[in-house]
Amino acid sequence: MTADAIMKRSRIVLIEKAKETGFCFGVKRALKILEEAVDKYGEVETLGPVVHNERVVDSLGRLGVKVVESSHQVAGRIAVIPSHGMPPQVSHELKARGLTIIDTTCPNVQRAQKAAKELSEAGFWVIVFGDPHHPEVKGILGWAAGKGVATLDSEAISKLSDLPHRLGLLSQTTRNPSQFARFTNDVINLLLPRIGELRVVNTICNVTEKRQTEAMELAEKADLMIVVGGRNSANTRCLAEVCSSTGTETHHVESAAEIQEEWFGNKTFVGVTTGTSIPDRLTQEVMLRLDQIRKRGLDAT
């Protein structure tokens, strides 16, 4: 073995998994509803992936769950609304076509949708702090009946020339609470002279908040963090951002196979956390891979 290869051997002493990993209650609930629907109806079609995890979507596909991109592509009789929800207009359109709707929207997302609807009906223009391209955010905005906007940039709001007098502020469920607080603060500082009223509703999911706090605590102790989850999963990307913000080297992986041995050359404490759409089996594979790397490091000493 070359000196270089020996240097790259891990020196891992400790691997710690966050207390909460794997599916959140919203994902478990969605999968249960979906499995019951498949038992009852055979084939069903989901409007986009029911959860943001390819492996889970593939195994559901083998049970008879087909993914379509939009309501217009539903060819069968049973349409499933995914856990991150949809604008109400989509359900109305599907109902008008006589389809049966199975709604797996997470109760925490429903809370955000209800807040958007109530604010809009009370005459507030709704600002959703979130990624405007994310389906959950588009859905929440739909519940505000088009009277609002989604953004992560408070400056963009301040540039609006015809700013409504009453603003309602809420968040994508998977956002970081400190970032939402900062955004709210910026909105107050930038816009208060131009508006009459601002109402803020905290719609961040409690599971997300708890997981991010735990991940940050773990990242502060660890030399390296592994964050497991889909690259298109908003909550996993937020977890990775939170871990990186502590200054600890952080790697976002979708599977154990992506973990590279050379990351661990001078690391002794590795922390692991996962997004909320990750099956326990995948977390176990990651822990096993890390343990193999740790053992190889010990054997080399």
Which residue numbers are catalytic? 136
Among the listed residues 8, 11, 15, 25, the single contact to ligand F3S using CB under 6 A? 25
**Ramachandran quadrant class, 181 (left: phi over 0; alpha: psi -120 to 50; beta: rest):** alpha
Cα 254 to chain centroid distance, Å, stands at 14
276 is a site residue for ligand F3S (CB under 6 A): yes
Task: Identify which range of 11-19, 25-33, 36-44, 181-189 contacts ligand F3S by CB under 6 A.
Answer: 25-33
Site for ligand F3S in 29-68 (CB under 6 A): none
Structure token digits, residue 57 = 């979507």
Residue with tokens 């408070």: 154
Q: Which is nearer to ligand F3S, 105 or 184 (CB)?
A: 105
Q: Minimum Å distance from CB 64 to ligand F3S?
A: 23
* 229 vs 221: CA distance, rounded Å: 21
Residue nearest to ligand F3S (CB): 26
109 is a site residue for ligand F3S (CB under 6 A): yes
207 is a site residue for ligand F3S (CB under 6 A): yes
Q: Residues 137, 139, 32, 37: is their CA dihedral positive or negative?
A: negative
DSSP 22-85: S--HHHHHHHHHHHHHHHHHS-EEEES-SSS-HHHHHHHHHHTEEEESSGGG--SSEEEE-TT-
Q: Find the distance separating the first CA and the last CA of the chain, reported in whole Å.
A: 12
Q: Residues 233, 239, 245, 250: is their CA dihedral positive or negative?
A: negative
219 is a site residue for ligand F3S (CB under 6 A): no
Q: Which is nearer to ligand F3S, 104 or 184 (CB)?
A: 104
Q: Minimum Å distance from CB 275 to ligand F3S?
A: 8
Q: Minimum Å distance from CB 242 to ligand F3S?
A: 14
248 is a site residue for ligand F3S (CB under 6 A): no
Q: Minimum Å distance from CB 149 to ligand F3S?
A: 21
**What pairing do the DSSP bridges indicate for beta strands 224-228 and 197-200?**
unpaired
27 is a site residue for ligand F3S (CB under 6 A): yes
DSSP 262: G
Cα 240 to chain centroid distance, Å, stands at 11
108 is a site residue for ligand F3S (CB under 6 A): yes
Q: Minimum Å distance from CB 152 to ligand F3S?
A: 18
Q: Which is nearer to ligand F3S, 11 or 117 (CB)?
A: 117
Residue ranges binding ligand F3S (CB under 6 A): 24-27, 83, 106, 108-109, 173-174, 205, 207-208, 235, 276
